[in-house]
């Protein structure tokens, strides 16, 4: 009887221990391979390279038993790989040839739509696109992904610009403040990005011109630990993918 009790207690203890996110990492690797087969290394090299980096970090974090961090990096890597695959499939269908061919490059995309250096205010969180003044970020209340009246008003302005430039692809980045777990904030950031995308679709922007990604709490605008910084960091950014 004692042995049974000890075994049962051991199972309870073990079930409460964090486990390596083997499935998440495997899913991310599978998405990366799918992107490679679609030609993402040629047609979406920046997105593909970023996905590779996150998958490597996920494996390293898992090896070091930083399982929460590993899971977040694996999910981010998978999301980026999916985006790279989609870009590759779309560009192959158009015959643009990717960055290395005669297709539209990032520079020509910006110049073709009249964006000059003075209009650019920064790179996207992974550097694969640019943030421009014409597409303003929106902010959210704590632990919330609903759109305030102010956010809706900004999205209406963004929608007008996006509908006037239907060939431009925009990536919507969801961000959170530092409170809460990495996994929780990754999910919340995606809900924030998806909420903005769905509202833009209602306003007449084509869904196919937009992609969403979440960085959770990993890319704060303000690294301070106070209400002002947290309010600044709860946001969506709109990044033009320059390919």
Residues 88-138 have pLDDT tens digits of 887 766 655 444 333 333 455 566 666 666 677 766 665 557 778 889 999
Assessment of whether the complete model's pTM goes beyond 0.75: no
Please state the separation of Cα 31 from the chain's center in Å. Answer: 15
| The pLDDT of residue 198 | 95
Q: Check pLDDT > 90 for residue 160.
A: yes
Alpha carbon separation from 167 to 36, 49, 66, 178 (Å, rounded): 25, 24, 41, 35
Closest C-alpha among 74, 71, 168, 180 to residue 112: 168
Please state the separation of Cα 69 from the chain's center in Å. Answer: 16
- Measured CA to CA, the distance from residue 180 to residue 142 in angstroms comes to 11
DSSP per position, 4-52: HHHHHHHHHHHHTS----HHHHHHHHHHHHHHHHHTHHHHSHHHHHHHH
Residue found by looking up tokens 């929460």 in the block: 68
β-pairing, 138-139 vs 235-241, is: antiparallel
Task: Provide CATH code, domain 104-243.
Answer: 3.30.1330.60
Residue found by looking up tokens 């209340």 in the block: 141
The widest CA-to-CA distance across the chain, in whole angstroms, is 79
Determine what percent of the chain is predicted with pLDDT higher than 90.
Answer: 37
- 46-75 exposure pattern, b = at least 16 Cβ within 10 A, e = fewer: bbbebbbebbebbbebbeeebbebbbbbbb
| The pLDDT of residue 39 | 86
Per-residue pLDDT band at 8 (split at 50, 70, 90): very low
- Measured CA to CA, the distance from residue 120 to residue 218 in angstroms comes to 23
- Among 47-51, 201-205, 219-223, name the one with the lowest average pLDDT: 47-51
Residues 186-209 pLDDT 10s: 999 999 999 999 999 999 999 999
| The pLDDT of residue 17 | 61
- Measured CA to CA, the distance from residue 239 to residue 243 in angstroms comes to 12
- Measured CA to CA, the distance from residue 152 to residue 149 in angstroms comes to 5
Alpha-carbon dihedral of residues 212, 217, 219, 221, nearest 10 degrees? 110
What are the residues facing 173 on neighbouring strands?
A: 213, 237
- Measured CA to CA, the distance from residue 61 to residue 71 in angstroms comes to 9
Q: Where are the domains of the chain?
A: 19-101, 104-243
């Amino acid at each position: 009887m004692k042995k049974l009790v000890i075994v049962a207690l051991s199972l309870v203890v073990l079930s409460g221990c964090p486990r390596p996110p083997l499935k998440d990492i495997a899913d991310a690797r599978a998405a990366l391979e799918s992107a490679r087969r679609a030609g993402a290394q040629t047609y979406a090299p920046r997105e593909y390279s970023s996905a590779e980096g996150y998958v490597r970090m996920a494996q390293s974090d898992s090896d070091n038993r930083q399982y929460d961090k590993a899971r977040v990096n694996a999910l981010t890597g998978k999301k980026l790989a999916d985006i790279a695959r989609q870009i590759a499939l779309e560009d192959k269908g158009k015959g643009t040839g990717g960055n290395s061919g005669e297709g539209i490059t990032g520079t020509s995309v910006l110049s073709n739509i009249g964006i000059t250096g003075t209009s650019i205010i920064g790179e996207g969180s992974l550097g694969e696109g640019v943030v421009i003044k014409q597409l303003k970020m929106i902010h959210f209340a704590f632990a919330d992904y609903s759109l305030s009246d102010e956010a809706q008003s900004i999205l209406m302005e963004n929608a007008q610009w996006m509908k006037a430039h239907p060939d431009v692809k925009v990536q919507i980045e969801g961000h959170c403040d530092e409170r809460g777990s990495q996994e929780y904030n990754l999910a919340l950031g995606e809900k924030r990005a998806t909420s903005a995308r769905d509202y833009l679709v209602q306003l007449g922007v084509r869904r196919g011109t937009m992609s969403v990604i979440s960085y959770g709490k990993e890319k704060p605008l303000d690294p301070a630990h106070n209400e002002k910084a947290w309010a600044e960091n709860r946001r969506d950014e709109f990044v033009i993918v320059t390919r």
